[in-house]
Structure 1
Amino acid sequence: MHSQAEKHRPGTPGEVFVAFLKLGVTSFGGPIAHLGYFRDELVVRRKWIDEAGYADLVALCQFLPGPASSQVGFALGLLRAGPLGALAAWTAFTLPSAILLFFFATVSAAIAGPVGAGLLHGLKIVAVAVVAQAVWGMAKSLAPDRERAGIALAGIVCVVFVAGAFGQMLALAAGALAGLVFCRAKAAGPSVPLAFRLPKRVGYAALAAFALLLGFLPLVAAGAGQQGLSLFDAFYRAGALVFGGGHVVLPLLQSEVVATGWVTQDAFIAGYGATQAVPGPLFTFAAYLGAVAGPQPNGVAGAAIALVAIFLPGMLLLVGALPFWEGFRRRLPAQAAMRGANAAVVGILGAALYDPVWTSAIFTPKDFTLALAGFVLLTVWKAPPWAVVLLCAGGGVSLALS
């Protein structure tokens, strides 16, 4: 048995890189599923952070624009090994899918035929098992009583009847308010402080950089007339203005790169299909778009510009918020509010388990059987996620060919 101090001792950037590289090559299923993978690997297995602290980070990143799962990973790397750990986490989690999508862009070969369709379908079934495991585990720890179970149920109602990112924001805000009313007696304080060790001046600087880039980049890009700067501006704005991450960014990207003629509609759709078949964050779709965009810069340079630009605003906002986060969450009213918000997160994840995760993957009793097998392997047998990915991907191909 490890002591609490050993469980939460500082790590190294190398350790963080290895952990997130494993996640980067096995985390299929989109941002909601990624949170399940993170929880299983870093909360349950490695114990870098406790369940309540992890849920607090998820709630914070749900509030901020940008790729929520990548922001959570960045914060966990920062917590474990400082700024270099944060950079290691982002790099290791992002590069595998970015490299795969860049390779896809260079060969221009879309996945086709029954094998490709079955593989994609099997990966969607993986997401069902992973998200179901996350909902089950988080519900037991974050909504264990009547009050918080009721808040989680109310969160589901919010996101079902109010579509889009606004519904998620409403659920979190309503959960926090309900926590102030119903969870004050249970507010005993965070079990482990989230010591990010970021000075407030760093937070102010990050917020100022975010605002300046968002406000002045379009003016500078229009005046300079340089395609590389215009490309950076387009992807920065897409990353800065999206709430909810993942699929929400797609219409913004389409308006930036297809409407301008940089990428054809056919190439955009083919790249989107390929993005569904690779692990890691959906925002790495930007690497594909930057690689195929025209005029130059494209290829490696375009992919790098687009990739950095789309992730940068979300990370600046996160760094801007973190110096103030620990002081906020240590106050008793804040603790009660966060208990309510954490319960609402369970509701949001529960709603996402049905739509879009379940509705896009489970069409037949065979699909349900495969998803249930993956869920049992994860929760009862404690199988590693990569093994479940292989099982469901192979099962999807077998179903397509049968």
Structure 2
Amino acid sequence: MADTVTAAREAHQSTAWEVFRVFLRLGLTSFGGPIAHLGYFHDDFVVRRKWLEEKTYADLVALCQFLPGPTSSKVGIAIGLSRAGYLGALAAWTGFTLPSAIALVLFAYGVDAFGSTLGSGWLHGLKVAAVAVVAQAVLSMMRSLAPDRERATLAVVAAALVLAIPSAFIQIGVILLGAVAGMTWLRQQAPTDHVAMPHTVTRGAAIAAIVAFFAILLGLPLLVAAFPSHSLQLFEAFFRAGSLVFGGGHVVLPLLQASVVPPGWVSNDAFLAGYGAAQAVPGPLFTFSAYLGAVMGPAPNGWLGAALCLVAMFLPAFLLVVGPLPFWDDLRRQNWARSALCGVNAAVVGLLLAALYNPVWTSGILKPGDFALAAAAFLLLFMWQTPPWLVVAFCALGGAALSTIQL
């Protein structure tokens, strides 16, 4: 522990302002989703700036993948924490998140201003783009997180359960089921080349963060039941989504859809249009929460709703970075922990597979022209490696063209 703290102090060479400037540039230019973000981070912080050693960065990525929440954002928060303390963590998150959040809130205002055109062709094209993006995410995650018969079977069972019993609670149950199945069915060996993480988090601060995380996660539903308030309901729904998402930003889609569409807070068309637009902006996909907060019908909405949902969505990431750091060295040596994570990852592939069908496919593919446009978008993404924002623009134009020729 003393060596870890000493290493962190030696790495404390940046101001929070410097951290903010570096991450703001990344927030403006990092297209391509969490895997691409991790590549940008590696190039910037390991290769160019040498803020982290290669093995230290790999270990940091492993920790952030082990925990729920947005992986690339957690890595960024941890890097900011190691460079400039808690203020550096906040600066890293703000710089990386702000550009896409602002862009999506502005898009939400556009959707609200032109609500009468919600069924227009270009907006439907965004829903078609979501089909291609989620399909590619399912294929990519299946290859990496469910590559064998056991995990693929677990993913399909999870998808079937979620489709058969559509509710937020069954999604949580599927994640827990994946953890249990992993510990009993999937045996993983812990790595031996472990590298200690540089940080300044004390065990007392870590325990406080873990207690705060579970207190909010378990206490907010009781508070909402005792004191009904739409603001509390919003905060609880988005905090829960940010707390239970494994496997990348796309997996947040079914959790958020189950939370905001059935109560009528956001229409399904507006939800999928925003999800399509989120593919066209840089930075973390979890800033989709800012769009939902802004476009929401009941107050708070607009900028206030966007800020509330954004903070609720990312607060678990802060707590789940600070909390486990002092204990990660011991936990990673436990085979049961790695086995549980393998099962959870397979289950979340099933969650995303279910979301591909409902609501993404059922809302986006309504006629043969939609299927042809989605197939072309998938081809561009998967085979031609076209940037997602270009594919989204292509689908918007294609949707507008299809609406004029009624195909």
Query: 2: CA distance between counterparts of 1:347 and 1:274?
Result: 23
1:89 is aligned to 2:101? no
**1:250 is the counterpart of 2:231:** no
Q: CA deviation at 1:18?
A: 3.1
CA–CA separation in structure 1 for the residues paired with 2:65 and 2:211: 23
Are the equivalent residues in 2 in contact too, given 1:123–1:277 (CA < 8 A)? yes
Partner in structure 2 of residue 284 of structure 1? 290
Does residue 79 of structure 2 align to residue 76 of structure 1?
A: no
Q: What do residues 288-338 of structure 1 show as CA deviations (whole Å, max 9, x unaligned)?
A: 3799959xxx986x4576456644654555346543566434411111111
- For the pair 1:187 / 2:189, whether they are aligned, the reply is yes
Distance 1:299 1:153 in 2: 38
Secondary structure of the residue aligned to 1:112 is helix
Identity %: 30
CA distance change for structure 1 residues 396 and 233 in 2, over 3 Å: closer, same or farther? same
Q: Does 1:362 align with 2:365?
A: yes
For 2:192 and 2:158, the matched residues in 1 are separated by 23
Cα RMSD, aligned residues only: 4.4
CA distance in 2, matches of 1:286, 1:312: 14
Paired position in structure 2 for 1:318:
320
Which 5+ residue runs of structure 1 have no aligned equivalent? 1-8, 28-36, 62-67, 223-229, 256-264
Match of 1:110 in 2: 114
Deviations 1:2-33 (Å, cap 9, x if unpaired)?
xxxxxxx999544433333346xx78xxxxxx
Question: May I ask how many residue pairs the two structures share in their alignment?
Answer: 345
Name which of 153, 158, 179 aligns with 1:155. 158
1:401 lines up with 2:404 in the alignment: yes
Residue 25 of structure 2: aligned partner: 18
Q: Distance in 1 between matches of 2:355 and 2:62?
A: 16
Cα distance in structure 1, aligned partners of 2:59 and 2:355: 20
- Worse overlay, 92-101 or 304-313: 304-313
> 1: distance between equivalents of 2:386 and 2:59?
24
SS in 2 for 1:381: coil
Structure 2 distance, partners of 1:149, 1:269, is: 29
Q: Map Cα deviations across residues 113-170 of structure 1 (whole Å, 9 max, x no partner).
A: 48x6212211111111111111111211222222222222222222222322222222
Partners of 1:278 and 1:193 in 2: how far apart? 39
Give the TM-score of the pair, scaled to structure 1: 0.68
Give the aligned partner of residue 332 of structure 1: 335
Report the Cα distance in structure 2 between the residues aligned to 1:190 and 1:160, rounded to whole angstroms. Answer: 40
Distance 1:110 1:194 in 2: 53
- Structure 1 ranges of 4+ moved more than 6 A: 48-56, 190-194, 212-215, 251-255, 268-274, 289-292
Q: How does 1:159-174 map to 2 (within 5 A)?
A: 159-174=162-177
Q: Contact 2:38 / 2:72 at 8 angstroms: preserved in 1?
A: no
Deviation at 1:277, TM superposition (A): 6.9
**Pairing 1:103-142 to 2, within 5 Å after superposition:** 103-104=109-110, 109-113=113-117, 117-142=120-145
Tell me which residue corresponds to 1:6: none
Higher deviation after alignment, 130-139 or 50-59: 50-59
Alignment equivalent of 1:42, drawn from 37, 41, 50: 37
- Amino acid in the other structure paired with 2:352: L
**In the TM superposition, what whole-angstrom CA distance separates every residue of 1:159-208 from its partner, at most 9, and x where no partner exists?**
22232222222222222222222321x43439887948444433333455
Displacement after TM superposition at 1:235 (Å): 4.7
CA 291–376 in structure 1, closer or farther in 2 if over 3 Å, else same: closer
CA pair 368-52 structure 1, distance change in 2 beyond 3 A:
farther
TM-score (norm 2): 0.67
Shift in Å at residue 100 of structure 1? 3.8
Distance 1:375 1:273, change over 3 A: closer
State the Cα distance separating 1:89 from its structure 2 match: 2.5
AA at the equivalent of 1:98: V
Q: Is the contact between residue 79 and residue 195 of structure 1 (CA under 8 Å) also seen in structure 2?
A: no
Q: Could you list the runs of 5+ residues in structure 2 that have no partner in the other structure? A: 1-10, 44-53, 82-88, 245-251, 279-284
